Structure 1
Amino acid sequence: MASATRSSDAAPLKEGKHITQNGDVFELPTYTMKMIHDAIPAHCFQPSILRSMAYVVRDYFYVAALCYAASYIEYIPNAYARGAAWAAYSVLQGFVFTGIWILAHECGHGAFSKNKRLNNIMGLIMHSFLLVPFHSWRISHSAHHKATGNIDKDTAFVPHVRESWVKSYRGQEAEVESVELSHLAEDAPIVTLWVCIKHQLFGWPGYLFANLTGQKYDKGVPQISHFYFGQDSALFKKEQLPLIMLSDAGVAAMIALLVVGGQMVGSWNMVLYYMIPYLWVNHWIVAITFLQHTDGSLPHYDNNTWNFARGATATIDRDLGFIDTHLFHDIIGTHVCHHLVSTIPFYHAGEASDAIRKVMGTHYRADRATPFMWAFWKNQRACKFVEESVEGSGVYFYRNLHGVGEPPRDLTGGKAGEVAELIKEKKETTATGGVAAASQAKRRLSHSAQMTAKALPILVAE
C-alpha cells in the first residue's frame, strides 16, 4: 500500500532517510509525467458527451424519484417511523446531491466533454443547484491541482507546519518549545468529535466564504471569499471577476427558487427535502477531500523540492464500495489518477489507474482496507501538522505531539523524558493528594527538567 519499505523490515537506517508518520522509509519519486501519459490507453482521454449527459439525467432522476417517495412520508402514522423515513431520505438524497456535485467537478476539469462551453453551462447549472459558485470554485480548484502537495502554494487542505499549529491551537503567544509533551497536545476524543462535527457541517461553506484550510493571505473577508468580485480580491484576477459575478448570480437564482419553493410547499418541507440533504453534501465533500490528501504515508513539499509529478501523487485512493463507484462516480477510488491527469473522465479513470500503477510502483498509495469513516477519525487524531523529516530537505510528513506514529523532533533539549515523568507523577499525586510524594518526585528529577516543566503552564498547575 505505502510507497516505502517498513523500517522494521529494512537494514538499519542511515542518517538522512525520510521517515513517514507510519514509520516507513520514503524515497522521492523519479518518474516523469511523460511516463505517466504514455502508460495510459489513448481512449481514456476521450470523454463522451452522450455518456456524460446520461449520468446527469440519471442522477436528477434519482433526485426526483426520492422526492416523490418522500412525499408519502407524511402519511406514515407513527411519528418515530416518520422520523426514520426522513432520516433515510436525507442520507440517500445527500448521496445523490454529492454525485451531482462531482459531475459539476468533471465539468470544471474539462472531463465532462471536449466542448468548453457545454462544460461551463452544465457546471454552472449543477453547482448552482448546490449553492456552489461554479467559476469561483473552478478557478481556485485549478490552482489546487497546479500546486498539490506544495505547502507554499497549494490552495486546499494546506497543512499546518509545527509552529502555525501550536499558535493556532494554543494561542499566538505560545512558544513551540513549550508544548512538546504528549499530555499538552493530546486532544480528548470528545474534543476531536466536536471539531469533526464543526468541520463536517460548516467546513465547505467556510472554505467558500472565508478560504478555510487554504493558503493564508494578508487580506481577510470579504477579499478571500469565493463570492467576492471586487478588484482587490485575493483569489481572483481582474479579468476573472465577471465569471465570479456570473457564479454569484447562479447561486442567487437558486436561493430565490428555494424561497419560492418554501412559500409554495412550506419552509419546513423545504428544509426536509433540500436543506438537510445539502448538509450531507457538506459532510461528504469535506470528508472525501480531507482523506484524499491526509494520511500518515503522504509527503508534502516546499516550493524548492516540489514538482508536479511529486505533488500530484501526494494523494491516496480509498474505498467506499457501491456508494463511491455508483453514486460518487469513483472519485474516492481513483483520485491519484485524477490528480495526475484531471481531464480523464471518471468512467475511464479505473482503467487509467490500473495503467499508471505500473509506472508508479510502490509510490502508488491506496488504503482500501481501512473503513472510510474510521480512516477519517484516525487521521483527524494523528495528522496534526507537518514537519521536515530531514531538516533542510523540503520534504514534510505528518506528525503529532501525543505519541501516535513517528515522533516529531524533540525541541526540549533532551529533557522530554524527564519532564514527562515529572508530569505523570505530579498528576498522580494531585489525584491522591500526596504532597510529600510530589516533593520526592521533584527531588528525583534534575533541576533543568523541573524548569522545563514549569514552562508548560497548560500542563502543569504549580
Structure 2
Amino acid sequence: MQAEQSVSIVEIARDEPITLQQILRTIPRECYQRNYRKAFAWLVWDWLLIGLCVTAILWAQSWWIAVPISCVLGTVLSGLFILGHDAGHRSFCRSRRWNNFIGHITTSWVLWPFHIWRLSHNTHHRHTHHVHKEVAWKPAPGFIYKRLAWLDRMIYRYARTWLFYLGSIIFTATVVRDYVRGKGLSSQEHCEVLFSVLITALAGAVYASVSYLIAGWYGLLMLFVIPQFVFHFWLSLFTLLHHTTPDVTFMAPDVWTREKASLECSIHVIYPWWVDLLNHDISWHVPHHVCAAIPHYNLRLAYRHLKETYPDRIVERKLTFRYLVSVLRQCNLIEDFKPGMQEWKRFNENESSQPREVVRQ
C-alpha cells in the first residue's frame, strides 16, 4: 500500500508543468468579481444567526438544551470568521479601510487579531506545502521530532490525535506571541498588529463580561467558552484536512511550485451541506489557493471549472469518520528531509529509528 502511494506521489510531482496564468484562465471572469450585495447579505445573515442562538440559549435556561445550541453558535462564529478571512484577502470589498473594518468585527470575537491573521495567513498562501516554509500543519521529520523538548514533543503529538482541535489554539497563541514581538515585521505592520491586538482584547473582554453579567456562569460557559472551543474545532478540522491526506504530502524546494501546491496539493473535502452553508463554502478550497481574490460565494463555480479542466490533478476526498481516522493515524511525521516529495511516517514507525544529524536540502 505504501509503495502504491509513493508511486502516485511521484507521478504527480513529474506531471507536465503548467503555469499559474494557464490555471487562472480556466476560471470564468465573473468568479473574480466582488458582489457587495452578497457580501453584506452574508454578514447580516451571520449576525442574525448569532442573535437567534444567543436568544435561544438565554430562553432555554437548561444546560442540556443549551449545549447543542452553543455548538451551533460556535459554528456560526466560524462562518463569521470566514467572512473576515475574505476581508483579509481583500475579496470582501474593494476598499482597504472597509476590508480592515469588516475584518476586525468578524475575527475579534473569536480572539484572532485581524492583522495577525491576515499577515500569517498570507505567509501560508505564499508557501503552501513547502516542507521548510509552510506555517500551517507543517509536519516534522522523525529525527527532529525525537530531539524536541518533551513538552514540545507532547504538544506536537497530541495535536495530531483526537485532540487535533487544540492545534489551532496552540497555533493562535504562538503566532500572536511572535507577531506582538514584531518578528520580521515592518514598523507599519507592527503598528497594525498592535492595533488589532488591542481591538481583540477589548472585544474578548466585552464578550466574556457581558456573557457572565446577563446569565452568570451559565452564560459564560454557553455563550462564550463552548463557542470558542467549537470555533477552534472547525478551524483545526478545515485547515488540517485542506492540506493533509495520506497520498499527498509536502514538497522540497527542488520540486515546489506555486502551481503544483495550489492545484494538486490543496484538497477539496466534501462536507455535509449544513457545514458548507454555515461556513461559507470554505471547504471548496482549491480555487481559493489558486487565487485568494475569489470571494467565497464564487468558489463553487470556480471549482467546477478547475475540475473540468484538470480532473487528474484535483484531489477530492469525502469527510467520513474512517477518512479522518486514516489522516490522524498515517499523517504524523515525514521521513528525513530529501529532494522531491516527502513521505509520511507514523509515530510508531519513528520509535525504533535512530536520531541523526540535520541535513537540509
Please classify the TM superposition score into its range, dividing by the shorter chain length: 0.7 to 0.9
Aligned pair in 2 of structure 1 residues 299, 28: CA closer, same or farther (>3 Å)? farther
Contact 1:149/1:301 (8 A) holds in 2 = yes
Note the residue ranges of structure 2 that are not aligned, 5 or more in a row: 356-361
Matching residue within 1, 14, 30 for 1:28: 14
Deviations 1:90-131 (A, max 9, x none): 221121111111111111111212222211110111111221
- Structure 2 equivalent of residue 19 of structure 1: 7
Greater mean deviation of Cα atoms: 26-35 or 336-345: 26-35
Contact 1:35/1:359 (8 A) holds in 2 = no
Matching residue within 227, 236, 244 for 1:277: 227
Greater mean deviation of Cα atoms: 265-274 or 290-299: 265-274
- Structure 2 equivalent of residue 394 of structure 1: 340
Matching residue within 168, 174, 188 for 1:204: 168
Query: What SS does the aligned partner of 1:300 have?
Result: coil
Aligned ranges for residues 308-457 of structure 1 at < 5 Å?
308-313=258-263, 314-332=265-283, 334-368=284-318, 370-371=319-320, 373-387=321-335, 392-400=338-346, 402=348
Contact 1:20/1:296 (8 A) holds in 2 = no
Matching residue within 195, 200, 207 for 1:251: 200
* Matching of residue 49 in structure 1 with residue 13 in structure 2: no
* Matching of residue 71 in structure 1 with residue 58 in structure 2: yes
- Structure 1 equivalent of residue 47 of structure 2: 60
Greater mean deviation of Cα atoms: 137-146 or 358-367: 358-367
Provide TM-score, normalisation by structure 1. 0.69
Partners of 1:392 and 1:71 in 2: how far apart?
Answer: 56
Partners of 1:346 and 1:99 in 2: how far apart?
Answer: 11
Contact 1:165/1:384 (8 A) holds in 2 = no
Aligned pair in 2 of structure 1 residues 42, 169: CA closer, same or farther (>3 Å)? same
Aligned pair in 2 of structure 1 residues 170, 359: CA closer, same or farther (>3 Å)? farther
Query: What SS does the aligned partner of 1:318 have?
Result: strand
Partners of 1:170 and 1:26 in 2: how far apart?
Answer: 36
Q: What letter matches 2:122 in structure 1? A: S
Query: What SS does the aligned partner of 2:343 have?
Result: strand
User: Displacement of 1:392 after TM fit?
Assistant: 4.9
User: Displacement of 1:395 after TM fit?
Assistant: 1.8
- Structure 1 equivalent of residue 120 of structure 2: 140
- Structure 2 equivalent of residue 216 of structure 1: none
- Structure 1 equivalent of residue 359 of structure 2: none
Provide TM-score, normalisation by structure 2. 0.87
Aligned pair in 2 of structure 1 residues 299, 120: CA closer, same or farther (>3 Å)? same
* Matching of residue 128 in structure 1 with residue 108 in structure 2: yes
Partners of 1:128 and 1:303 in 2: how far apart?
Answer: 35
* Matching of residue 240 in structure 1 with residue 189 in structure 2: yes
Aligned ranges for residues 148-227 of structure 1 at < 5 Å?
148-168=128-148, 196-200=161-165, 202-211=166-175, 222=177, 224=178, 226=179
Query: What SS does the aligned partner of 1:47 have?
Result: coil
Partners of 1:302 and 1:234 in 2: how far apart?
Answer: 25
Note the residue ranges of structure 1 that are not aligned, 5 or more in a row: 1-5, 9-16, 75-81, 175-186, 212-220, 413-454, 456-462
User: Displacement of 1:18 after TM fit?
Assistant: 4.9
Q: What letter matches 2:119 in structure 1? A: I
Partners of 1:252 and 1:170 in 2: how far apart?
Answer: 31
Partners of 1:122 and 1:205 in 2: how far apart?
Answer: 23
Q: What letter matches 1:209 in structure 2? A: A
Deviations 1:10-40 (A, max 9, x none): xxxxxxx95358xx85443412111111111
Aligned pair in 2 of structure 1 residues 275, 51: CA closer, same or farther (>3 Å)? same
Contact 2:84/2:103 (8 A) holds in 1 = yes
Partners of 1:195 and 1:32 in 2: how far apart?
Answer: 34
Q: Which structure: greater helix fraction?
A: 2
Partners of 2:106 and 2:272 in 1: how far apart?
Answer: 24
Q: What letter matches 1:397 in structure 2? A: E
Aligned pair in 2 of structure 1 residues 259, 169: CA closer, same or farther (>3 Å)? closer
Aligned pair in 2 of structure 1 residues 252, 306: CA closer, same or farther (>3 Å)? same
Query: What SS does the aligned partner of 1:363 have?
Result: coil
